[in-house]
Chains A and B, each alone.
Chain A
């Protein structure tokens, strides 16, 4: 079945630094990738949608200069949290969808802690 690999699973960084999270589709071409943020005991909040080779579409209220998304190939999308602050600490999950596939396959998530 479709598999999405997300790395790292956990990361701790200092305030003011940048962190990159990778999301890879292992056995299918992900035409569309989605990035979500999940707060403790809360639902998933869609941050942005990216199509390979084009600019990401950000949801209202999400700072595109802070959360940089790159979808340079059909198997890789990256989310970079720039100048991270403690309030950016959260669980980030990516999801990928391939052409002709009905489902959305999720990565295992990244727990980001900014200290």
Chain B
């Protein structure tokens, strides 16, 4: 089946690193994505990783993928107050229209 799970809430101190975790069930996933949503807004693509990669780094963002365990994580280095938002992981299901299946979202709160 298609299922993506995330922890719902994470609180970190400004300047620390944040790690948001995600697990998925569909082994046919081609790409996995991280999106950011600020209040009342649409989704902003942060980064994505192809399913045959283990790691991808983009400035403050590091994505780790453990395909065997179907585990994806997003690390945000030097977290800032502007990083406070909801972060969604999503998997692209191969076949058909390659629809995206989203996790429930992790609310990241950054405090001084």
Contacts and interface: CB of A to CB of B under 8 A. Distances in A.
A46 B33 CA distance: 16
A106 B48 contact: no
A103 B43 contact: no
A97 B97 CA distance: 10
Contact of A104 (B41, B45, B96, B105): B45
A93 B102 contact: no
Contact of A42 (B31, B42, B101, B104): B104
B42 A51 contact: no
Contact of B97 (A32, A93, A105, A107): A32
Interface of chain B, main secondary structure: strand
A49 B42 CA distance: 18
B56 interface: no
Interface of B: 31, 33, 35, 40-45, 48, 88, 92, 96-105
Closest 8 A/B residue pairs (Cβ)? A108-B42, A106-B43, A43-B104, A106-B42, A49-B97, A109-B42, A44-B102, A43-B102
25 contacts: A32-B98, A34-B100, A42-B104, A42-B105, A43-B102, A43-B104, A44-B43, A49-B96, A49-B99, A51-B97, A57-B96, A57-B97, A95-B43, A95-B100, A103-B33, A103-B45, A104-B33, A104-B45, A104-B92, A106-B42, A106-B43, A107-B42, A108-B42, A109-B42, A111-B40
